[in-house]
Structure 1
Amino acid sequence: MAYDRYIAIRNPLRYSVTMNWGVCRRLAAGSWLSGFMASTVATVATFQLSFCQNNVINHFLCEMPTLLHLSCTDTSQAELVMQVLCIFTLLSPITFIILSYAHIIIAVLRIRSSQGRRKAFSTCSSHLLVVTLFFGTVMSLYMKPRSLSSPEHSKIVSMFYVAFTPILNPLIYSLRNKDVKMALRKLLGKPEGP
């Protein structure tokens, strides 16, 4: 979506040519393939662990950080695999998103009208909020050393990126719609604004 926003703001007249179905298919296929490969590597690394006594997971999900807490063997290799996976599946996309938005900000600042700048920033704000919610919570869970994490913290953070972000996603994106804004103002009893 960051690349989509970048193309829409940077070259709006060439948007339909640049963001064609082939590009969209390649972007989606790349996301799915990288996710599949990362989960396969994490699964193989998890199968290398030994679990002795306590095999009850104190969590909502069966995730790698939670399983590392249950293992009775040395988990340093599995932790290293998890850190490398985080570089590829978390830091690479967030770096790409940050670079895209840096280019977007440069392009928006070149827009002469304040209304045009406001509209361009409005286009990006909802995506930035969702990206921040998702990547912030996932990175705080997966990129933290095992010694600093606790099961209670992991449960709360997992609920944010597994449940709350997808629940908030339609709300965040729909708040850009004028009809939804008016309905929300009526519901909250606020007068209609501009």
Structure 2
Amino acid sequence: MAEQEGVIKFSYEFEKRLTISEVPWEMDIWRDLFVGYELIGQVPDRYGGFGFGNLSCRVGEAFSITASQTGGLKRLTASDYALVDDWSLDRNHLSASGVKEPSSESLTHAAIYDSCPSVRFVFHVHSPLIWHARGPLGLPETSAEIPYGTVLMAQTLKKLARDIGSDGIIAMAGHEDGIIGWSTTAMGSGSL
């Protein structure tokens, strides 16, 4: 698990501009809760000190996602979100706009949105407790051989999410402490 957290592994086109006028309130509430439990954050003794965890919500055919390396920020503003409006899992590529670059997990979120059109929220947290108990909890999981941010991870998550349906949770065995949940509502995504 020596892989560096928070590194963008996809190619992308990026237009630097403010894309949302305000932080989506549902994501703001859930992010505050996750930060309080250190499920999203940035601390020196975890993941090489890099930020971890991210949230997104569907916006029409696009999705708004927390920008790269915003985990350490106490509160987010509209400039801390990027809008991903086009993507190709097979090409490992996306198009986005925002003041800051999109999260390194953007294609993972895109895979979930591709899997089920009714999904509106995707939350990616880092929970050592849940991740280590994924077997006894019976959580579906990706292979430990599949690192985060790769085409194979996105394709695997898309298939698993399609099989699970519009509300689900998956442990990312090849992404230390990585848990991803999705639903048609923010409450559903956050409480899985």
**Which TM-score tier does this pair reach, normalised by the shorter chain?**
under 0.3
Which structure has the larger Rg?
Answer: 1
TM-score of the superposition, structure 1-length normalised?
0.24
TM-score (norm: length of structure 2) = 0.24
More helix by share: 1
